[in-house]
Amino acid sequence: MISTFNLNNTKLVVEEIPFVRSAGIGVYIKVGSRHEKQNISGVSHFIEHMLFKGTEKRTAREIAESFEGMGGQLNAFTSKEYTCLYSRTLDENVDSAIEIMFDMLFSSKFAPKDFTTEKGVVIEEINMYEDTPDDLIHDLFSQKFWEGHSMGLPILGTEDSIINMDRDLVYEYYKKYYVPANMVIAVAGNVNSNKVRDKIQNLLEKQPKNNITINQTIPEENNSFISLMNKETEQVQLCLGVPSISYHNDNRYVQNVMNNILGGGLGSRLFQSIREELGLAYSVYSYPSTYSDTGAFSIYVGTSPSKVAQFFEALIELLDNFTNEGVSEEEVTRTQQLIKSSILLGLESVMNRMTRLARSIMIYDEIVSPEKIIDRIYAIDSEQVNQFAQNLFKKELFSLAAIGDKEILPNVEKQYKQLWRL
């Protein structure tokens, strides 16, 4: 049973799952890196870190030991459009977990000593990320893809923005945006909806009841680009992409089916062609990036410098075939079954259920049932997929980001331009 409540301008959704012994709890704050200005790039992610550094009631150690003492898990993450604090615990410890999480969310101290220490931690996280080129390549692409807009800012911030971050400014940002009216709370597991509601309502009564407005500008579509980053690596990391749709566009279901056929799994055309048949890469895949008002569709590969030209040739041939010959009904049917299985198997996890509920409320302001999603997926045919692919994969719309050795990159650019006939 799923119940929704409006508490102190906060949306709460609870799913009772009586046949499990655990519960997933998530608080989604509707602020992320796209809402930041250049001078405070990374502030949302930095606040995420500071939530774990202690409150008026609990030290950082006490927060960690409280969850370990319950055998629970506590974590958080930041994205471009929201931040999330979440936990998983036994059903008998739900009240305690909620109380600790809300203490962290509303009463974190941001002590100056902890603030300074955490700057070093975040900078090391940035350094670690930059030492992982197969992750960094996606950031390089998005920064250029949305250049000139906050969508292009790195979620972690930059070393300069973290070093120059002012404690009072960050605390003011925290107090402004981490308020009930800017949150969606989801709980899924062996819980009683009314008891969860009463517990959370009691905790929220002490918090400000004001509404909040976040100004969000729609990014303009940039011209195609080639973005190169010099880094000593054995492989060349490549990310090619085109503008695509937001998650409010009904074609998102078509895009998901298309993505699975093109590069979403072991049976996809990209994996079978680039890896299994040609042996050009260990890792190759495609993925959509969908947001509230924009989107991109990307293809990634990590390959040896000597194989870059062969990869470009193979990819062009594959995409030409994909758009000219189209996909078969058999491929669509197989993908529909794959997506259906993924959705239904995901329901066996309380964390997946919690996440699905929260995102559904946050994005669509309603519960979009698994059955409805599956029905939409099964309503798609090969003609819809083919039409979507033809509109998406136009050579003049493609952009390229590449990371590799400085001696290799000029040749990568040259081969790309020649083979793409730019």
> pLDDT digits over 373-411, tens only?
999 999 999 999 999 999 999 999 999 999 999 999 999
pLDDT at residue 260 greater than cutoff 60: yes
The domain 226-420 is placed in CATH, from the list 3.20.20.80, 3.40.190.10, 3.30.830.10, 3.40.50.300, at 3.30.830.10
Q: What is the pLDDT at residue 158?
A: 95
Write the pLDDT tens digit of every residue in 219-258: 988 899 999 999 999 999 999 999 999 999 999 999 999 9
Across 15-19, 83-87, 220-224, 227-231, least confident range: 220-224
d(CA 295, CA 292): 8
List the chain domain ranges.
2-204, 226-420
Q: What is the pLDDT at residue 318?
A: 96
The torsion of the CA quartet 84, 197, 346, 333, rounded to 10 degrees, works out to -100
Q: What is the pLDDT at residue 210?
A: 78
Per-residue pLDDT averaged across 256-283, rounded? 95
pLDDT at residue 422 greater than cutoff 70: no
d(CA 289, CA 163): 30
The answer to whether residue 234 is catalytic is no
The domain 2-204 is placed in CATH, from the list 1.10.443.10, 1.10.4160.10, 3.30.830.10, 3.30.930.10, at 3.30.830.10
Residues 80, 31 contacting (CB under 8 angstroms): no
Instruction: Check for a shared fold between 2-204 and 226-420.
Output: yes
d(CA 350, CA 94): 13
Write the pLDDT tens digit of every residue in 212-221: 888 888 998 8
Q: How confident is the model at residue 142 (pLDDT cuts 50, 70, 90)?
A: very high
Residue tagged active-site, from 15, 36, 48, 118: 48
Q: What is the pLDDT at residue 126?
A: 96
Q: How confident is the model at residue 207 (pLDDT cuts 50, 70, 90)?
A: confident
Per-residue pLDDT averaged across 295-319, rounded? 96
Sorted by sequence, the CB contacts under 8 Å of residue 241 that are 6+ apart come out as 141, 145, 296, 297, 298, 299, 398, 399
SS3 for 246?
Answer: coil
What is the token pair recorded at 38? 């250049």
The reported pTM is 0.94
Residues 245, 290 contacting (CB under 8 angstroms): yes
pLDDT at residue 72 greater than cutoff 90: yes
d(CA 236, CA 405): 8
How large is the C-alpha radius of gyration of the chain? 23
Give percent of the chain with pLDDT exceeding 70: 100
d(CA 324, CA 307): 26
Per-residue pLDDT averaged across 167-184, rounded? 95
